[in-house]
Amino acid sequence: MEPDRFIKAACRARDLFCLLACVSIVLLLAQAGAASAHEGDGTVVVHVTDAGFEPRSVEVGPGDTVSFENVGDKAHWPASDDHPMHTLYPGFDPKKPVAPGEKWGFAFDKPGKWAYHDHMNPYLEGEVVVRDEEPESAGLLSSVSSLFSNLYGSVLSAFAGEEEPAPDEAETNGPQERVKKARGDLLALVRDEDPRAALVRLREEIEKDDALLRSCHPLVHDVGRAAYEKYGDFGEAMKYQDEVCNSGYLHGIIETRLSESDDVFADMKTMCDPYQQGSFMAWQCYHGLGHGAMFYTANDLPRSLEMCDAFGNPSKRSSCANGVFMENFSADQKLHLSAYLKEEDPLYPCAQQADRHKGDCYLYAPTYFLSLNDSDYVGALEWCENAEADFGPTCARGVGMQTMKENMSDPKFVESTCMKGSPGQIEPCIEGMVGLYINHEASLEPARALCGRLDASNRQACYDEIESKSDLFRS
């Protein structure tokens, strides 16, 4: 060891040993102080009502508990943002609803501003501000301990001649870091290209990275928010709608748009007014409001349909109800539980619906069947034979739609699947696949090209579907 380096190390060692006695005394004093540091801690109470959290914002110290007392008539579920994964502060989540008259408490130990919401009614929001403070004894202990550790490490390094170790790869490429990077990359794609480019990228990445798969829903929430902020237009952002990751993109759009509203439900009635009645953009908008109604009522199907029925125009009501049933049958039973799904009867609740809603219900029921049966498309066509007599073709159309959605790059496979159905199912199945393709492209021209690639026996059904949607694209 070089003389100067040895002398420097010896000096550090002297300093270290001189501090040992001081550190011991501080430890004893800090321990005595810590014994009483939490004795005076109180509990802050937040009343959970059916209209929201009272007070909406509270401030606490590190280690303080916030008790959420449900004083409403319905169950509520206070949990950390982001909805529905609750990843902002993972421990801040009761994992189940808090029943009326009950309470649930959580001790906040991380300084910062923590936004939260009611998982059952995500538009009800609040925040907990945790002050950045700690008892003086604890602060002193932390400072001395840090100094002690630094001196000790320096002396050992000096005597051993060791260099600082390189950062662990897990620290630079761990799950959280990959999710953070992915979020930045996706938002850049929205900014520089369009939301579809971001959603396509995410579909590819979640196939290879479980960390991204677990964070998929909040990631597409962010993409939806960025899309609305980019275009400033609900209908324009809806053009890129994609159900990847349980419709998180749509939820992000709706959340951002409705966050500007003082009266969410009143605003929904006029949100689509800027779009020409009967146009594709108007259809997309009212369809999106159907999804939004389900999202903001925590998948309350009857209540959502009542909201759609509030529209005076039959076309508006129908488009909205179409979105309601699409959301219901796409619901993730872990993230967005729906009481209107039954594994033992995937056609439920279509038979129980009013006649005006049965068509949309049977149209999307195949989505749920296919999720339960590993995309057994031919089996889905056979299963559609169980639908009420007048709605068997509607169910077959839904199979064509969902098969096309899951196999967009292989329309000939979708066509061959449709042709394996019964004679009465082939035409509506083909129409369904073409209708979905039109919605995906937001244009009729690509669909006309698609018709030319189909077998001659199926081209008329393809052209008929284009004609049925032509009014949507007339300026």
Q: How far apart are CA 392 and CA 238, in angstroms?
A: 30
Same domain as 220, residue 143: no
Task: Give the three-state DSSP class for 65.
Answer: strand
Same domain as 30, residue 149: yes
Q: Give residue 100's domain range.
A: 43-130
The pLDDT value given to residue 144: 46
Residue 226 maps to a domain:
yes
Q: How far apart are the first and last CA of the chain?
A: 84
The letter for the amino acid at 226 is A
Same domain as 185, residue 151: no
Residue 191 maps to a domain:
yes
Q: Could you tell me the pTM of the whole model? A: 0.64
The pLDDT value given to residue 243: 65
In total, how many domains does the chain have?
A: 3
Average pLDDT of the residues in 173-191: 89
The pLDDT value given to residue 137: 45
Higher-confidence position of 16 and 61:
61
Give residue-wise pLDDT tens across range 85-96: 677 888 899 988
Same domain as 147, residue 12: yes
Residue 449 maps to a domain:
no
Residue 453 has pLDDT above 80, yes or no: yes
Same domain as 149, residue 25: yes
270 in Cβ contact with 258 (< 8 Å): no
Task: Give the DSSP H/E element, type plus range, for residue 404.
Answer: helix 392-406
Among 245, 260, 275, give the residue marking a domain's end.
260
Same domain as 126, residue 139: no
Same domain as 253, residue 179: yes
Same domain as 57, residue 91: yes
Residue 141 maps to a domain:
yes
Residue 276 has pLDDT above 60, yes or no: yes
- Percent of all residues in the chain with a pLDDT value above 90, rounded to a whole number: 45
Average pLDDT of the residues in 79-102: 85
Give residue-wise pLDDT tens across range 110-130: 999 898 998 877 778 899 999
Which range is least confidently modeled, 125-129, 168-172, 278-282?
168-172
Backbone angles phi, psi at 454, to 5 degrees: -85, 160
The token duo for 468 is 């049925």
Same domain as 254, residue 176: yes
Higher-confidence position of 60 and 258:
60
Q: How far apart are CA 394 and CA 428, in angstroms?
A: 7
Residue 424 maps to a domain:
no
Higher-confidence position of 356 and 441:
356
Question: What is the pLDDT confidence band of residue 148, given thresholds at 50, 70 and 90?
Answer: very low
Of these ranges, 50-54, 161-165, 230-234, 433-437, the one predicted with the greatest mean pLDDT is 433-437
The pLDDT value given to residue 23: 47
Higher-confidence position of 444 and 281:
444
Task: Give the DSSP H/E element, type plus range, for residue 127.
Answer: strand 121-130
Region of 66 (left: φ > 0; alpha: ψ -120 to 50; beta: rest) is beta
Of these ranges, 98-102, 139-143, 272-276, 415-419, the one predicted with the greatest mean pLDDT is 415-419
Burial of residue 190 (number of CB atoms within 10 Å: 0-12, 13-18, 19+): buried
99 in Cβ contact with 69 (< 8 Å): no
The token duo for 395 is 């169910």
Residue 189 has pLDDT above 90, yes or no: yes
Mean pLDDT over each residue of the chain, to the nearest integer: 82
Same domain as 248, residue 178: yes
Same domain as 140, residue 126: no
Higher-confidence position of 9 and 286:
286
For residue 59, the cross-strand partners are: 129
Residue 48 has pLDDT above 90, yes or no: yes
Question: What is the pLDDT confidence band of residue 5, given thresholds at 50, 70 and 90?
Answer: low
Residue 71 maps to a domain:
yes
Residue 246 maps to a domain:
yes
CATH number at residue 49: 2.60.40.420
Same domain as 142, residue 201: no
Residue 52 maps to a domain:
yes
Residue 271 has pLDDT above 60, yes or no: yes
